[in-house]
Amino acid sequence: SYRKGGYHAVRVGDSFAAGRFIAQRKLGWGQFSTVWLAYDTQTSKYVALKIQKSAPEFVQAAAHEIEILSTITENDPKNEKCVVQLVDHFKHRGPNGQHLCMVLEFLGDSILHLIRYNRYKGINLIKIREICRCVLTGLDYLHRELHILHTDLKPENILLVSTVNPSKDPIKSKTPPILQRPEGSLAGGAAVNVIEKKLKQRARRAVAKIAAERRGGAPEPKPERSLDGIDFRCKIVDLGNACGADKPIAEEIQTRQYRAPEVILQSGYSFPVDMWSFACTAFELATGEMMFAPKPGPGFSEDELSMSYLLRIKHNDHLALMMELLGKMPRKIAVGGGRSKDYFDRHGDLKRIRRLKHSSLSRLLIDKFKFPETDAQEFAEFLNPILDFDPERRPTAQQCLQHPWLRQTAAKTAS
């Protein structure tokens, strides 16, 4: 993707906007962009530089994102609404073309990182409440005050608020902000690093092999990781797919696993799609597993099937998973969408599907994820209404913020 129209290749020390921003290290990337930590020489602060691919459709998408981010920033002068803020934007010309760049406030790791860091064990409910409060505050702001739909809410797009100043990071404290790339020093250094890395890797593998033999091939037990000291405030990012409530951006929105039933059935959508994704995200934080991970049935291999057929089977499976956990979809909803006939018969029963294994959210939390009974019941009581098949009956972000589950404090939980 580092070709004409694609990503802009950045090296540590590269400067942007006539020398104002200096690239420090890569923070992440998405389909359309790479994101770099940069030092702002004007304000002496760190920022995140989102550098979009340069082909016209990406430039246009970035312009749209900048417009939405500007609205978000202008209407939240105190920066208290839990959505990322835009500091500035500019164009940058490189060998692959002209790139629109967004200067964003610098945030921390995504909560997907947090789930991985915690080894998919599920995060303490007290901490999840904090995360939920932030995400709902952000959604309430987007929905009620700005009439904006995010349409791609998921753990990757929720970032912890960084309390570490990168220059104060204990590991990196010896390195002051990079203000200049040492001329020509990179190529040679990089080559040496690669060889060294390979040698170290080989040594590590040999040690691991001996240890595994001693354990009789059993996997290495991993120590628990502490989440103490992590600040669970977070913010919603990636407004690349956001749109005004009255201007739907596309027919098929959202990342598959977080996609609401009305999007699959093409029954029209609005704010409740974000609420659905929110509930899926909260579940994933609590259990370490995706709430719905649809896959084609056994006996199908992905390359045997045409893409559109594969998609239909996946959607079918996705709807089946939803109904196993949430009960039967009311007939009116099931048959009411533009694509309903692909999945449901006229009685509102799923076509071509195995027998459904009915469960409930609280049973699943207790049986599979070993939640204490009250925790499971209370969490399920919070999530179930948000997972109503009827989007009009789903609570709004504002209503969720009033829910007793979120108002519980650590003290109440401990007693």
Give contact residues for Mg ion (rule: CB under 5 A).
Answer: 30, 238
DSSP letters along 125-193, please?
HHHHHHHHHHHHHHHHIIIIIT-EE----SGGGEEEPP-S-TTT-TTTTTSPPP-SPPTT-HHHHHHHH
Contacts with 364 (C-beta within 8 Å, 6 or more apart), sequence order: 325
In the complex, minimum distance from the CB of residue 73 to ligand ADP, in angstroms, rounded to a whole number: 12
**350 vs 20, 250, 344, CA distance in Å?**
58, 26, 4
Give the residue with the Cβ less far from Mg ion, 238 or 274. 238
With CB under 6 A as the contact rule, the residue among 71, 110, 267, 277 that binds ligand ADP is 110
d(CA 127, CA 189): 42
Contacts with 211 (C-beta within 8 Å, 6 or more apart), sequence order: 220
Residue facing ligand ADP at closest CB distance: 30
Six-digit token pair at 143?
Answer: 């929905």
Q: Is 106 in the site for ligand ADP (CB under 6 A)?
A: yes
Question: What stretches of 50-156 show up as alpha helix (H) in DSSP?
Answer: 56-74, 111-117, 125-140
Site string for ligand ADP, 27-66 (x = CB under 6 A): xxxxxxx-x------------x-x----------------
Give the residue with the Cβ less far from Mg ion, 96 or 241. 241
Give the sign of the dihedral formed by CA 295, CA 299, CA 303, CA 306.
negative
With CB under 6 A as the contact rule, the residue among 104, 115, 291, 321 that binds ligand ADP is 104
Do 28 and 49 contact (CB within 8 A), yes or no? no
Q: 235 labelled as ligand-binding?
A: no
Q: Is 156 in the site for ligand ADP (CB under 6 A)?
A: yes
In the complex, minimum distance from the CB of residue 239 to ligand ADP, in angstroms, rounded to a whole number: 8
Give the residue with the Cβ less far from ligand ADP, 281 or 362. 281
Give the residue with the Cβ less far from ligand ADP, 237 or 335. 237
Count of residues engaged in binding ligand ADP, rule: CB under 6 A = 22
Q: Is 117 in the site for ligand ADP (CB under 6 A)?
A: no
Residues marked as catalytic: 152
d(CA 58, CA 399): 36
Give the residue with the Cβ less far from Mg ion, 28 or 337. 28
Q: Which amino acid, one-letter code, is at 14? A: D
Site string for ligand ADP, 246-265 (x = CB under 6 A): --------------------
| Helices 272-287/125-140 angle, 10° precision | 160
Q: Is 141 in the site for ligand ADP (CB under 6 A)?
A: no
In the complex, minimum distance from the CB of residue 70 to ligand ADP, in angstroms, rounded to a whole number: 15
Contact residues for ligand ADP (CB under 6 A)? Answer: 27-33, 35, 48, 50, 84, 104-107, 110, 156-157, 159, 237-238, 240
Q: Residues comprising the binding site?
A: 50
Q: Residues comprising the binding site for ATP?
A: 50
